[in-house]
Amino acid sequence: MAHYDLIIIGSGPAGRAAAIQAGKLKRKVLVVDRKDRLGGVSVHTGTIPSKTLRETVLNLSGYRERSFYGRSYRVKDNIDAGDLKARLHMTLDHEVDVLEHQFNRNHVDTLLGMAKFVGPNEIEVATEAGDTSRITGDKFLIATGTKTYRPDYVPFNGRTVVDSDEFLEMSEIPRSLVVVGAGVIGVEYATMFSALDVTVTLIEPRDSFLDFIDSALISDFTHQIKENGVDLRLGSAITQIEDAGKHVEVSLENGRHVRADMLLFAAGRMGATDKLGLEVVGLKTDHRGRLEVDRKSYQTKVPHIYAAGDVIGHPSLASTSLQQGRVAGCHALDTPTLGESPWFPYGIYSVPEISTCGMSEEEMQEREIPYEIGVARFRETSRGQIMGLEHGMLKMLVSLKTRRVLGVQIVGEGATELIHIAQAVLNLKGTVDYFVKNTFNYPTLAEAYKIAGLDAFNRMPIPDEFKVKKKP
């Protein structure tokens, strides 16, 4: 029976980072995952596909150039599902190829199949061919990620009523689309297909959406997506979803009906832990199948079993999962390592993009931190004018007491790239003075930091060293 120092179940961002780290430490490591899933949800149905799809949509539709050439401008007149999938499959094949190469280079063993615990230090792996093999390990990392939440009242058929995994396999682009759930996934797909001029209705039972984002940004974002044609229905609970053959009928609590060619159900995800046999090792999950861990070491309640990535819940980002996997791998193999930075960015790849780092205005108020705001609009920058940006803004929150920058929120083109400047300043405990003194390339969107910094600086009390000395 084969024995390993570390056995990793799942090969998404967390599993991949832990495996490569263990390989670099010259330990014997095994990654177990399904044949069609090397790379995990992130590569096959999550992060990479949705971002590739977004890029394809924006390029083929000519969306970015419409402010110059008019709303009817197209790069390709008749865009079909095949156009969207072509780039998708190329990207996915490349990602899997890179991953396999990384594993080979770092001497990471892989085994394709479904794993479950049969003892504290032993797993059984069932392959597609029907064979089973048993393997023992000193330490284990559960990095199985999440799967789509599929409630009974939704008549999924893989054609007109789909979840976010099935959505990518559509045979044709629908003329109208209902998206249920205004979380990150729902918002990304809704705005993406609205850019393709699909009639999109976004339904959210709650009265608000993306609550972790600053409300000023959400109001700007809401204005933009409505302008782009998304019909946003907040506070609308669904009473019935009816599969009517060639279309879908949705009945809402307020008595209204929505009809569409396709319905995408994107209201939440569940931890993919139900088939792992966790009861054998004495581990329990919460109501959404997620595991509880110590957030510094990523150990579960069973010391030799670790968990990282989306399976442990918040923040459920590919970026944080990579970091968690590396830290968990080091801790499991008794190797000291650098911890995680206190501030990490959130990126939502909608149309337009949203990205934040640090505190929101609501958090500042809750904590009773006295603050000032600096705002910059992309249309005020020369680069924004060159790109034809009519919308987009950067908001900076600065402590009045310490002058430290405590939060930055961006909505608009390039937000997910621009946010890293804020992240560096936040983690290095920088002040608003940095942005006032700093010189940015011209013309760039990054200049928005200077504009927002000056905006905040000019509203704040003048520091003593800058006060004009009165002559006696």
Residue 285: CA atoms inside 13 Å, Cβ hemisphere, count? 21
Q: What are phi and psi of 100, to 5 degrees?
A: -60, -40
Q: Is 181 annotated as a binding residue?
A: yes
Q: Is 184 annotated as a binding residue?
A: yes
Q: Is 392 annotated as a binding residue?
A: no
For 236-295, the DSSP string reads --EEEEEE-SSSEEEEETTS-EEEESEEEE-S-EEES-TTS-GGGTT----TTSPPP--T
Q: Is 185 annotated as a binding residue?
A: yes
Omega of the bond prior to 443 within 30 degrees of 0, cis?
A: yes
Q: Is 226 annotated as a binding residue?
A: no
Q: Is 218 annotated as a binding residue?
A: no
**Tokens at 11, concatenated:** 């090969």
Q: Is 220 annotated as a binding residue?
A: no
3-state secondary structure of 356: strand
Angle at which helices 215-227 and 184-195 cross, to 10°: 30
Q: Is 182 annotated as a binding residue?
A: yes
Nearest Cα neighbor of 345 from 266, 429, 425 is 425
Q: Is 173 annotated as a binding residue?
A: no
Q: Is 268 annotated as a binding residue?
A: yes
Between the alpha carbon of residue 71 and those of residues 55, 74, 281, 395, 411, the distances in Å are 18, 8, 59, 28, 21
CA distance 97 to 162: 29
* Residues 251 and 445 sit within 8 Å (Cβ to Cβ): no
* Residues 428 and 404 sit within 8 Å (Cβ to Cβ): no
Q: What are the binding residues?
A: 51, 181-188, 204, 268, 310
Q: What are the binding residues for FAD?
A: 51, 310
Q: What are the binding residues for NAD(+)?
A: 181-188, 204, 268
